[in-house]
A = this chain, B = another copy of it.
């Protein structure tokens, strides 16, 4: 093992990244060293690349980016009991919880009050090696396909969304068919929705939805569909998408807010909220570790096949090209094969 590794580094507080050799990190107490096998690119990574306001507010360069990651454990510097062993393939949970704040203590680890973010607030995994805390490492069952392991992160978001909507027996609208929206539609089908319809104007995504999980899609919400969905999963973060959610949901129905708009949203509070007596649940991340057990089950049972959502695969050295396809929107999930 050499002393250096290839990594995608945000070097400056400005657009772009540098792909370069840097020293292989050492695991601190309570951390694992992993040899990264695969990583996948998240929508958030576009903002980080382009140096969005959000990125500027969360990142202090230089930092290795990338948070959807699976790697083989090659060193364990554990201090607490764990079932993880050398040679295990672990996925990283992005949200590094403190373990002792109020939310952590009552079991809401995913909304820790002192959250640190992997690949954002500390070095991530678009690299040949990475260190991750033992407490945010998920030991993958060997039955899970390697290509799916890093993509469990966004699938987990989707499953958490679908759980919050309690879709069982419900007619569900999914707004937005990015990778997490695709996963949400597939998970809603797998978890007992009576009917799932997804809306997205992009034809490429509609076709991918069909191929991925035989999802019924529309380009636009017809006013005839207003007030007819028991649950709407808002995955787009677009103002028009949020408006569609309010229109589509039926009286006494549920909206899940997952997509994050770039600016404030204007809401007709009286007409939509009050008159319809709605429930809105917003969703952040995924439950640690309930959701991961559920993603495992969905993958093992074959009810969801994440390999069908991966449309492009690149070497780490070709990250710039991968990012360029990512930004085109003509893609599903993009995988970086690292080792």
**Which residues of chain A in 119-167 are interfacial with respect to chain B, using CB atoms and an 8 Å cutoff?**
163, 166-167
Closest approach, in angstroms, between the C-beta of A201 and any C-beta of chain B?
20
Surface stretch bound by B, among A1-9, A187-195, A312-320: A187-195
Question: Is A264 part of the contact surface with B, judged by Cβ < 8 Å?
Answer: yes
The answer, among B167, B275, B279, B297, for a CB contact under 8 Å with A279, is B279
Contact A111–B169 (Cβ < 8 Å): no
* Complex-state Cα separation, A284 to B270, whole angstroms: 10
Closest approach, in angstroms, between the C-beta of A31 and any C-beta of chain B?
12
Q: Which residues of B contact A267 (CB under 8 A)?
A: 264-267
Q: Which residues of B contact A169 (CB under 8 A)?
A: 163, 191, 294, 297
* Complex-state Cα separation, A99 to B98, whole angstroms: 15
Interface centre among A192, A280, A284, A287 (most CB of B within 10 A): A192
Contact with B along A265-293 (1 / 0, CB 8 A): 11111100111111111111001011001
Question: Is A324 part of the contact surface with B, judged by Cβ < 8 Å?
Answer: no
Name the residue of chain B whose CB is nearest to the CB of A258. B274
The answer, among B103, B166, B168, B297, for a CB contact under 8 Å with A251, is B103
Question: Is A113 part of the contact surface with B, judged by Cβ < 8 Å?
Answer: yes
The answer, among B81, B106, B270, for a CB contact under 8 Å with A99, is B81
Known A30-B80, A106-B289, A261-B270: A277·B194 in contact at CB below 8 Å? no
Question: Is A100 part of the contact surface with B, judged by Cβ < 8 Å?
Answer: yes
* Complex-state Cα separation, A303 to B256, whole angstroms: 26
Question: Is A257 part of the contact surface with B, judged by Cβ < 8 Å?
Answer: yes
Contact B195–A301 (Cβ < 8 Å): yes
**Which residues of chain A in 228-275 are interfacial with respect to chain B, using CB atoms and an 8 Å cutoff?**
237, 242, 251-252, 257-258, 260-261, 264-270, 273-275
Copies of this protein in the assembly total: 4
Contact B257–A111 (Cβ < 8 Å): no
Contact with B along A160-199 (1 / 0, CB 8 A): 0001001111000000000000000000001111110000
Question: Is A204 part of the contact surface with B, judged by Cβ < 8 Å?
Answer: no
Question: Is A327 part of the contact surface with B, judged by Cβ < 8 Å?
Answer: no
* Complex-state Cα separation, A275 to B284, whole angstroms: 6
Name the residue of chain B whose CB is nearest to the CB of A261. B269
* Complex-state Cα separation, A79 to B297, whole angstroms: 33
Question: Is A85 part of the contact surface with B, judged by Cβ < 8 Å?
Answer: no
Question: Is A102 part of the contact surface with B, judged by Cβ < 8 Å?
Answer: yes
Known A194-B301, A251-B113, A294-B169: A257·B269 in contact at CB below 8 Å? yes
Question: Is A16 part of the contact surface with B, judged by Cβ < 8 Å?
Answer: no
Known A80-B99, A297-B169: A111·B265 in contact at CB below 8 Å? no
By a beta-carbon cutoff of 8 Å, the part of chain A in contact with chain B is 29-30, 79-83, 98-100, 102-103, 105-111, 113, 163, 166-169, 190-195, 237, 242, 251-252, 257-258, 260-261, 264-270, 273-284, 287, 289-290, 293-294, 297-298, 301, 303
Contacts A80-B99, A168-B192 known; 8 new A-B pairs at CB < 8 A:
A30-B80, A108-B251, A166-B166, A265-B269, A274-B284, A276-B282, A279-B280, A280-B281
- Top 4 nearest A-B pairs (CB, nearest first) are A192-B192, A107-B107, A79-B79, A273-B282
